A and B are shown apart, each in its own frame.
Chain A
Amino acid sequence: MIEVHELTKRYGRKLAVNNLSFTVNPGQVTGFLGPNGAGKSTTLRMILGLHTPTSGSVTIDGRAFRSLPRGMRHVGALLDAGDVHGGRTARAHLRALARSNAIPSSRVEEVLREVGLADAANRRIGGFSLGMRQRLGIATALLGDPPVLLFDEPLNGLDPEGVYWVRGLFRRLAAEGRTVFVSSHLMSEMEHTAHQLIVLGRGELIAAESVAEFAARGTDRSVSVRTPDTAALAPLLTAAGASVEREPDGQLKVVGLNSDRIAEIAFEHRILLNELTNHTSSLEKAFMELTADSVEYLAGETK
């Protein structure tokens, strides 16, 4: 369990993280979301004691990480896949880290196999693709078989197979009762991975809730209707209180009526429906709406 308590970090005059409090529980994947520059990486670094908070505190299973003599059996972390020395082979990199924490070198071979780098183990990391480095970073995090795992943007650079694998891995780690905390600036990445969300904007907590609760925040809900008889259906729906838009492909986009009601109206008037699709507001939309006011670096921003 990770407990963040009134955490604040200031770099000179810039407030990176402001009075942040949240808890990350074991047994589930918790997504850590926010636009670029929201303070996610700063927070993760403070959790790991790499950066010292200006005020506030962080504990992992009740203890400050910096107070531990060795870390790998407590917390596994992938902060930046680039935080490696390119001159070493993957195996030497992991062996050195394992040795520092008295982890047997047989475990190095295990994690290399687990992340699919067994064949590349004797190659120098400098020649690795970003995806391979992410895999190596995940291997590093798994090395100590820790109860708490932190990943900062782990899906960057991974191929679709890798993304699929990582999602499965995170869910499996959580199902084993571990605390899994994964940051991302893309909601779509979290949609299929996380159970809980911590959403950050400009260093402040915007939301801490389940994915379902978060999705319900979205205001934009609509139903797509495909019918050969749009001319007949559209006025009926409008009469029932919906706003109806004709899409370029001939479908109707209906807002204000749910799909059950639309089906009933069509049935009552003997109008054939070819397709009826619910569009609950996507997490992406909810995320964008929620963080719109707190985006640090907005494209096309006028000063």
Chain B
Amino acid sequence: MTAPTTKKMTAVPNLPPLEPRARFADLFAAEWIKLWSLRSTPWAFAATVVAVLATTIAGAVGDSQNYTTYDAPHQEYFRMFGAVGDSFSSGAATMLILGVGAIGAITVLGEYTSGMIRTTFTAVPARRSVMAAKVAVVTVATTVFGVALVLVSYGVTQAILSGDHASAGLGHHGVIRMLVASSVLAPVSALVGMGLAAVIRHSVLTIVVTIALFFILPSLLDSQKHLTVSILHMTILQAWGRIGFEQSTTARFPWTVTGACLVLAIWGLVSLVLAIFTSNHRDQ
């Protein structure tokens, strides 16, 4: 035994350490650092931009080429409805849901699959606060991203269509609601990605469930029956379409914009609750 016989008690660490008040802002800043210190984050955002813009630009270029071949009533119809749709097509919405949903999922899965979550929860035992900060960071980042991407997509596609004088300006009927609906899609999808990841905690399984939920299930549902259509109306993509655009006057099962907003709100809120509260009771 070589235990020191005289102990220097310099630090007196048995006294409660002088500690600054725990602030949510610090957790937000920490999660912000975490998000942007991963090389995959800017790449994932960039890939989403490329996928969305490729889809909308290809659509706009195609429509611009076809436009000159249309007769006058058809051209007017396109200027009325088609031009707005070109600025953010349902293909683009799908890409946005996938890309941003994946980013949201990665922020949670990156912690769980790497084991970082134990380090995180050891640093901050208040688990729900950590997850809430993570949710806040992702929501802020993806909202800004969504608004910017939708505006860019709108600007680029309308610039393409303006060559044919077929573009829809900001004052054009339905443009603003389409921009808003598409922008909101980003944070909602990110939250859903986070919520699913927080429940499943397994990368491959999360991908399988997400694809099944968003893309396979809707394709299996019959669009002619009331029950299955009601289920379809509960999906994010359909809700986005309902908020962003007028529904066809001949729709067999019409629904309200309020209903569609509610659908998005419920997806977002349920996911948020799952992301924040599932962390609390499980052993890490």
Contacts and interface: CB of A to CB of B under 8 A. Distances in A.
Nearest to B17: A73
Nearest to B283: A51
Interface in A133-157: 140, 144-148
Contacts of B31: 96, 100
A278 B5 CA distance: 26
A179 B13 CA distance: 9
Interface residues of B, number: 48
Interface residues of A, number: 59
Nearest to B284: A50
Which DSSP category, helix, strand, loop or mixed, fits chain A's interface?
loop
A88 B38 contact: yes
Nearest to B116: A85
A261 interface: no
Interface in A68-82: 68-75, 77, 79-80, 82
**B11, B12, B22, B23: residue with the most chain A Cβ atoms closer than 10 Å:** B11
B14 interface: yes
Given A52-B283, A146-B17, A175-B4, A69 B9 contact: no
Given A70-B22, A97-B119, A83 B114 contact: yes
A92 interface: yes
B13 A178 contact: yes
22 contacts: A26-B13, A48-B122, A50-B118, A50-B121, A52-B283, A68-B125, A69-B129, A71-B122, A73-B17, A84-B114, A84-B119, A85-B110, A93-B37, A95-B33, A95-B37, A97-B30, A100-B29, A100-B120, A102-B22, A145-B17, A177-B14, A179-B13
Given A27-B7, A88-B34, 10 more contacts: A45-B283, A49-B121, A51-B284, A69-B22, A71-B124, A92-B34, A96-B31, A100-B130, A146-B13, A175-B4
Interface of A: 1, 26-28, 45, 48-52, 61, 65-75, 77, 79-80, 82-89, 92-93, 95-97, 99-102, 124, 140, 144-148, 171, 175-179, 195, 210-212
